[in-house]
């Protein structure tokens, strides 16, 4: 191949990559296209109802072929965040408030141990059941036990039920901070890319394990709280409201113990997630909306109206339904500041103290 031929072939290959998920002939001018422009082009070509999203039915060409891989939250729709993430993978950046879908780096055990505050003991990668490397928790607790059992908090990471890790992002950092204040904490991993029901079953098993080992770790089994964001918010909310649904307990051990938690903090919560190709009863089974009742535990819900990953309507409807059902302790922090899907972290000066005060009131202080 001559140098000129090689250059032409290389340019043509780059053009083909930039046309990924498009249904039009490749054009050389698309090389170097910004991610924002690429998203705009996809929407112009495939968003038939002009709602700013592309459904499976609207998609065509490579967009349809790879639809499931790009539909990170498995809701049958590619929203602007998912399209932006796809565009970023193809080159370029999306400006504005966009949640990046790329997995966050996971700290090594050595990095975690270097961050452990004084007075905190950490035990990493404890198996809450055998048979899968995902069935593990990291535990952080006060190094000195008090005479009375400690309240405890379960932290569950997000990631669209397909990405994430118990040590990535803020989850292990929160666990270390609360352990320094006297709480016993676990940060939970669960099976990814295996369906939402499996995720629910896994975190329920982790809570049962935690309760089964309450005496060993100095935990008060009647004072368990939980925090999660996005997919993690879905899972901790299910811990709060669905403990009477035996079908969600799975086949894991510790079945003689309850999977319920007594307090929930959830930010950007998908209260009505879908199940791909599922029957209506399968969908309802994993939706927090299906378990609205007056007996719901205390909840602190956080959402922002411009969230394009999880619609704020999910929290709006859920909160109103809980209040109508007579749930006695529901707090809703609804933001309108443009913080989007990152609402909790971007408002941490408010949400952080609010969560601390909520847990202190709902499950008590150590």
pLDDT exceeds 50 at position 8: no
What is the per-residue pLDDT for 26?
36
What is the per-residue pLDDT for 100?
43
Distances (CA, A) of 223 to 153, 297, 361: 9, 11, 11
pLDDT exceeds 90 at position 1: no
Distance CA 240, CA 208 (A): 13
Provide the 8-state DSSP code for 262: S
pLDDT tens per residue, range 332-350: 999 999 999 999 999 999 9
How many CA atoms lie less than 13 Å away from 224 in the CB half-sphere? Answer: 25
Say whether both 251 and 297 belong to one domain. yes
Residue 97 counted as domain residue: no
Confidence of residue 78 (pLDDT cuts 50, 70, 90): confident
Say whether both 130 and 218 belong to one domain. yes
Say whether both 278 and 157 belong to one domain. yes
Residue 103 counted as domain residue: no
Residue 104 counted as domain residue: no
Residue 253 counted as domain residue: yes
Q: What angle do CA 39, 169, 274 make, to 5 degrees?
A: 55
What is the per-residue pLDDT for 329?
98
Residue 67 counted as domain residue: yes
What is the per-residue pLDDT for 73?
62
| Residue where a domain stops, chosen among 37, 60, 90 | 90
Say whether both 211 and 358 belong to one domain. yes
Say whether both 224 and 270 belong to one domain. yes
Length of the chain: 366
pLDDT tens per residue, range 278-300: 789 999 999 999 999 999 999 99
pLDDT exceeds 80 at position 248: yes
What's the mean pLDDT in 53-59?
82
Confidence of residue 353 (pLDDT cuts 50, 70, 90): very high
The tally of domains found in the chain comes to 2
Domain that holds residue 64: 3-90
Residue 17 counted as domain residue: yes
Continuous segment of H or E residues that includes residue 11: helix 3-18
Residue 260 counted as domain residue: yes
Continuous segment of H or E residues that includes residue 358: helix 348-362
- 244: tokens are 């009477």
- Residue 208's domain is classified under what CATH number? 3.40.50.1820
Which residue did the predictor score with more confidence, 119 or 35? Answer: 119
The least confident of 52-61, 188-197, 211-220 is 52-61
| Residue where a domain stops, chosen among 90, 117, 139 | 90
Distance CA 121, CA 31 (A): 52
What's the mean pLDDT in 262-281?
92
How many CA atoms lie less than 13 Å away from 41 in the CB half-sphere? Answer: 19
Helical H runs in 194-279?
196-212, 214-217, 231-241
Mean pLDDT, the chain, integer: 87
The least confident of 49-63, 123-137, 245-259, 330-344 is 49-63
Say whether both 255 and 140 belong to one domain. yes
What is the per-residue pLDDT for 33?
60
Q: Who's near 246: CB < 8 A, 6+ residues apart?
A: none
Residue 232 counted as domain residue: yes
Query: Sign of the C-alpha dihedral, residues 321, 324, 327, 331?
Result: positive
- Residue 70's domain is classified under what CATH number? 1.10.238
Say whether both 265 and 357 belong to one domain. yes
What's the mean pLDDT in 45-50?
77
Say whether both 172 and 313 belong to one domain. yes
């Amino acid at each position: 191949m001559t140098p000129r031929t090689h250059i032409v072939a290389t340019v043509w290959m780059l053009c083909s990559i930039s046309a990924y998920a498009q249904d039009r002939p490749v054009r050389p001018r698309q090389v170097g296209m910004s991610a924002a422009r690429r998203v705009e082009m996809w929407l112009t070509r495939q968003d038939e109802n002009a709602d700013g999203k592309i459904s499976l039915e609207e998609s065509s060409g490579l967009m349809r072929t790879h639809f499931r891989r790009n539909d990170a939250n498995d809701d049958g729709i590619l929203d602007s965040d998912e399209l932006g993430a796809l565009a970023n993978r193809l080159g370029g950046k999306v400006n504005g408030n966009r949640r990046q879908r790329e997995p966050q780096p996971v700290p090594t055990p050595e990095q975690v141990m270097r961050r452990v505050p004084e007075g905190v003991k950490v035990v990493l990668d404890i198996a809450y059941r055998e048979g899968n490397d995902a069935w593990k928790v990291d535990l952080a607790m006060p190094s000195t036990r008090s005479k009375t059992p400690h309240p405890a908090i379960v932290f569950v990471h997000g990631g669209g039920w397909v990405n994430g890790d118990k040590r990535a992002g803020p989850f292990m950092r929160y666990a270390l901070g609360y352990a320094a204040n006297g709480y016993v904490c676990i940060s939970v991993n669960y099976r990814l890319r295996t369906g939402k029901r499996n995720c629910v079953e896994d975190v329920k098993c982790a809570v049962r394990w935690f309760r089964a080992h309450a005496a060993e770790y100095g935990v008060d089994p009647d004072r368990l709280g939980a925090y999660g964001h996005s997919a993690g918010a879905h899972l901790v909310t299910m811990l709060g409201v669905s403990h009477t649904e035996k079908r969600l307990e799975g086949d894991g051990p510790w079945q003689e113990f309850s999977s319920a938690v007594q307090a929930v903090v959830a930010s950007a919560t998908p209260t009505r997630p879908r199940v791909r190709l599922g029957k209506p009863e399968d969908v309802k089974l994993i939706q927090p909306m299906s378990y609205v009742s007056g007996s719901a535990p205390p909840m602190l819900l956080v959402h922002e109206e411009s969230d394009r990953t999880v619609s704020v309507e999910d929290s709006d409807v859920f909160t109103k339904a809980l209040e109508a059902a007579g749930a006695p302790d529901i707090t809703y922090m609804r933001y309108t500041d443009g913080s989007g899907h990152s609402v909790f972290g971007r408002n941490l000066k408010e949400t952080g103290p609010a969560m601390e005060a909520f847990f202190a009131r709902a499950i008590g202080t150590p």
